[in-house]
Structure 1
Amino acid sequence: MRVAIYANPGSKSQSVKEKLEKKMRDRHFILDMENPEIVVTIGGDGTLLSAFHHYRKQLDQIRFVGVHTGHLGFYTDWRDDEIDDLVISLQSDNRQSVSYPLLDVWVTYKSRQPSHYLALNESTIKRTSSTMVTDVYVGGEKFERFRGDGLCISTPTGSTAYNKSVGGAVIHPDMDVLQLAEIGSINNRVFRTLASPMIIASNDWITLSLMESRERKEDLMLTVDSKSYYNRDIEQIRYKIAKERIRFAKYRHNHFWHRVQEAFIGEEDGN
């Protein structure tokens, strides 16, 4: 089996990486950063997010495994003190996996070629000053004219990330849907939006048509996961469920709602 080990630069993660590399060499795994079958990330959800973008053109050939060296993440199944168990599971691998949907982001501009991105968690569009105005289309039909700070479009796995902080719903990652959540919308007697998160089916898509003049569009900020793009002359953005999916090697079952409870609620005080 060809394995890549992708670790963040922290001293603890680098120490775990060295131990895992030695154990894998001893058991005759092939360490291959270029064309792996398995990518083991060591760090946290941010490290796995970085690895996803690094290997985004090889998603049909790769399964990911996450090892966390800090707090339990939503993408990291293994603790850093379980390396021996992980190696045993890899040795007995039968190619079992679970796959989750990704977000396809297609951006058109007035004065340059279109751009295409894949997001594991979410994409946002915001104004860095003043109010953003955009027409929102769902499945090709105009739904509303949004005025506010911005919009967040997320995947189910990204629903517990930035989406949740702006009031979006938490969605189980087995569902092939995308979600639109408003960021600081303006709602009064003149301007109205739904003012509620929208869950969009996999056969529909969301189109944002920016209404500002060219001069005002240049202070827009587009984000795709952790990457930010500033001062783009954006005309329109289309979001849909991507044909690509991310696959995780599954050697144990980690209940999603248990992770949500542990991450956001924690232990009850017994009262």
Structure 2
Amino acid sequence: METHLLYLFTRTPLHIGAGSSVGAIDQPIQRERHTGFPIIPGSSLKGVLRAAEQPQNEDSATVLFGKADDNGDSRSGIVAFAEGKLLLFPLRSAKGGFALATCPLALNRYLRDAGLDLPRISGPTNDSCCLAGPSVQLNGGKVALEEYVFQSEGEFPTDWATHLSGLLNDAVLQEAKGRFVLLTDGDFAHFAMNACQVSQHVAINHETGTAKPRALFNEETVPAEALFYSSVTLLPLKEEQDRPHLDAFCAKLEQERLLQLGGNNTAGLGFVTSKLQRAGGAA
């Protein structure tokens, strides 16, 4: 089995719904149970990529993603998608407009999944401290993110900043080298839970063109400029004649492309820049 990484950089807010309300949020996003970090389910990635592949080559879609058939002609696919994990999360910054935050937990499990030759990250010494790039540091090394002020204990690691800013050919990410901020796991988890966008909506009566009574609801979205990655595992081929389908599929994903994930796609949500890159080793 071979493992690749699929990077997903949000261009517009992203809503992949959890299916039931949580607290004051009527339509929350899906999150990890233990960290509260937003996720992109593997089923969402598989569904979008299958929908893109099937009209072009139905045989290829069957080989790659499998087929369910009540007549007994079912088969499993040869590509497995793990859930998309959060790597960078955008936050408002008093200097520079916005920062891209991360934490030791996010970086170290990315290091594990990608098999990269980069140093492990230990992070700031305590909460209210950070390691920040020069583009978001105020006088005295202060960094103001959302409504909180942090003290920078030094610059964000240069080798990590170079690596992260070069993952995609996206102008915003490439120019973000000085915007990276390393927070403690606890501070990052707080922002990942509480700094997503929440917008108000109302259902419309299409006959009258006016709002329906008592139909106000809110919707949570991951903001634009968040970076996720998903481990994509290529399973053993069932037949050697399947190889051209797999090679062509991987070649297409290795070319940077625009995908649309999640709900409310007709309202412009869910556009992401995506690119597949070979991970550091084989599984």
Above 0.5 in TM-score? Answer: no
Indicate the structure with greater helix content: 2
- Provide the TM-score with structure 2 as the length reference: 0.28
Q: Which has the higher contact order (CA 8 A, sep 6+)?
A: 2
